[in-house]
Amino acid sequence: MQFRKHFLFIVLCTSLFLTACGKENDEKVSASTEPKVDVSSYPVGVQNGKVTTNYYDILMDTMSKHLEVPEDIKEKTSIDDKKELYRKYLLYLNGINYKVSNDVEQEIDNYFSSFLYNAKHWTEYRIKHLDTKSDLDNSVASDYFTNAKNDMLMVMEIMEKYKLSN
């Protein structure tokens, strides 16, 4: 009987302790996990919250790098230098990591993810063509490049629709 009283007392104390530890926090938490960033330098669509600054930065950086690769290749004379440039771009593409956070980003991402797929394959086939000198590899690379360019144009069109261009 005494054991039973002690057991009930321990259970009661433990439950009161756990209840006290679990007091609710009345502090308001922002729904956005994105840190506060000064968006005054961003386009209107970012300022209005159509897309996050993170997603916008990834879009702009990726498109900028994609446009730089053909220009930088012209400056390279050796095959090894060209392959190295393509490999660096491929590493960049493979390292892109993001998540869409709203419907506008999803609409853009329908084409942006396709752009990434085509840009990766274009780069891989450009490297392969430099190794093999095959007309087939060159043709496949050109097809992927055209598809990537078309996807990029669609991304830019949607960005314009939501005032995401400067």
- How many CA atoms within 13 Å lie on the side-chain side of 18? 6
Contact 148, 104 (CB under 8 A): no
**What's the pLDDT band for 37 if we cut at 50, 70, 90?**
confident
Mean pLDDT of the chain: 87
What pLDDT is stored for residue 28 in this prediction? 44
- Of 32-36, 55-59, 80-84, 154-158, least confident by mean pLDDT is 32-36
Domain residue ranges in the chain: 43-161
Q: What angle do helix axes 135-161 and 53-75 make, rounded to 10 degrees?
A: 140
Q: What angle do helix axes 79-95 and 53-75 make, rounded to 10 degrees?
A: 170
- What single-letter amino acid sits at 105? E
What pLDDT is stored for residue 22 in this prediction? 53
Contact 26, 79 (CB under 8 A): no
Spatial separation of the C-alpha atoms in residues 101 and 110, rounded to whole Å:
13
Residue 118 in this model has a pLDDT that exceeds 90: yes
Mean pLDDT, rounded, for 128-136 = 97
Sign of CA dihedral 105, 107, 111, 117: positive
Percent of the chain surpassing pLDDT 70: 78
Residue 104 in this model has a pLDDT that exceeds 60: yes
**What's the pLDDT band for 29 if we cut at 50, 70, 90?**
very low
Spatial separation of the C-alpha atoms in residues 55 and 101, rounded to whole Å:
9
Mean pLDDT, rounded, for 94-99 = 96
Fold entry, domain 43-161: Four Helix Bundle (Hemerythrin (Met), subunit A) (1.20.120)
What would the two tokens of residue 77 be? 């004379």
CA 10 from chain centre, in angstroms, equals 52
What pLDDT is stored for residue 38 in this prediction? 87
Q: What is the dihedral of CA 61, 147, 161, 41, to 10 degrees?
A: 10
Reported as a single tens digit per residue, the pLDDT across 58-76 is 999 999 999 999 999 999 9
